A = this chain, B = another copy of it.
Amino acid sequence: MIVGSVNIDSIETPFGSAERIPGGSAPFIGLAASNFNVDSCIVSVVGGDFPKEFIALMKSKGIYTDSIEIVEDGKTFFWAGKYHNDMNSRDTLATELNVLETFNPIVPDEYKNAEVVMLGNLHPMVQLGVIEQMNNPKLIVLDTMNFWMDNTLEELKQVIAKVDVITINDEEARQLTGEYSLVNAAKAIYKMGPKFVVIKKGEHGALLFHEDEMFYAPALPLAEVFDPTGAGDTFAGGFTGYLARTGDYSYENMKTAIINGSALASFCVEKFGTERLEHLSKKELQQRLLQFKSLTQFDIQLT
């Protein structure tokens, strides 16, 4: 069960620009998770201006999309951004909530028993509304960002209290807890609810914290990052999709899930928007997973 935004994005990078292409947390999550052949469903909303072909494409990947409400006389959430030369920072040029402003999420009956819930980046009250409609899911994963910490912190804390895993970036973890050290930030987040904390560090990889344990997944160093939009959502979608596929929500299995998320994110940035994820073969993913293995494996002989 995936909830998240479905956008129209306009993106400028040093390599070029893309005008009004499909985006948003839910499509990136859904497409990433579809690599694990999970039965998934997206709850979201779009306006009449959203391309129907793209919804059909998601459907063709096994994602249940009838739960994406279409407000025919409304406009889809629109975001425009421009990345700087280093690709690590960006200016937001436009944010038009449009149909998202009054969105009331409705989980289809047939997905209320889903084992795994992925709360993609969106207003915390929408995320909370989805949690409340679910029948005892085994795992709830939350992705969010600083925007909600700045504007709806109390609501966000209500959501955080109800989830098993939170994925946020390093700066957001520091902002949320007031702790500079990520080790201490993770401990502070445990006290807010989640038993597992995933801290995304972009090109520097990701950290998984659970009790006194830590796991460090690198990002694949790339010669070129074409468009970072959606990389964090793709990471979260790959992570959660892998867990849903295996049905094993242990710390050990989350390590492998994070590597899968990182591998998918490394594809995402190769082209604009969701383009690369739309045409990704099983073989390509498996080859990249092997690259992650060779990137991190070493021998230690204690003498």
Contacts and interface: CB of A to CB of B under 8 A. Distances in A.
Interface of A: 85-87, 180-184, 201, 204-205, 207, 213-218, 221-225, 252, 255-256, 258-259, 286, 289-290, 292-302
A221 B204 contact: no
Contacts of A298: 215, 217, 255-256, 258-259, 296
Nearest to A293: B300
State the copy count for this chain.
2
A218 B262 CA distance: 15
A85 B299 contact: no
B296 A292 contact: no
B295 A214 contact: yes
B223 A299 contact: no
B218 A300 contact: no
Contact of A205 (B87, B218, B222, B289): B218
Given A256-B299, A298-B259, A302-B286, A216 B207 contact: no
Given A216-B296, A218-B216, A259-B300, A223 B181 contact: yes
A265 B217 CA distance: 20
Contacts of A294: 213, 215
A302 to B, nearest CB: 5
